[in-house]
Amino acid sequence: MDQKCLVTVVTALHKNRPDDRLEFFNAQDKELDKYIAYAKGNLHVDFSVKWVEKHDVGVLHVEADPPHCPIWVLKANSEVVAKFDRVKCPFDR
């Protein structure tokens, strides 16, 4: 999936699920299943970090943006490729 397509997909998903952190991978197998179990809180699952690094396409998550409220961003290859809405916080008026 190219970056433009990833941004399009993430934009639609974030619109429908504005509070969800999302991760995207370019493969599906038992290592992904292990990683999902770990990400859901099963910290005893042994997953391959190398597999995750190899197949990670992007992540939509909240990132600090001082001195403002945190912001939702899409990162691919550790670079911000899209910014979305800010998280509501006490600084909001």
Q: Where are the domains of the chain?
A: 3-86
Q: Which residue has the higher pLDDT, 89 or 14?
A: 14
Which of 34, 3, 7 has the alpha carbon at shortest distance from 22? 7
Q: pLDDT value at position 10?
A: 96
Element (H, E) at 64: strand 56-65
d(CA 47, CA 69): 33
Q: In what order do the strands lie in the sheet with 68-76?
A: 22-25, 56-65, 68-76, 79-86
pTM score, two decimals? 0.84
**How large is the average pLDDT for residues 8-33?**
94
Contact by Cβ (8 Å): 33, 48: no
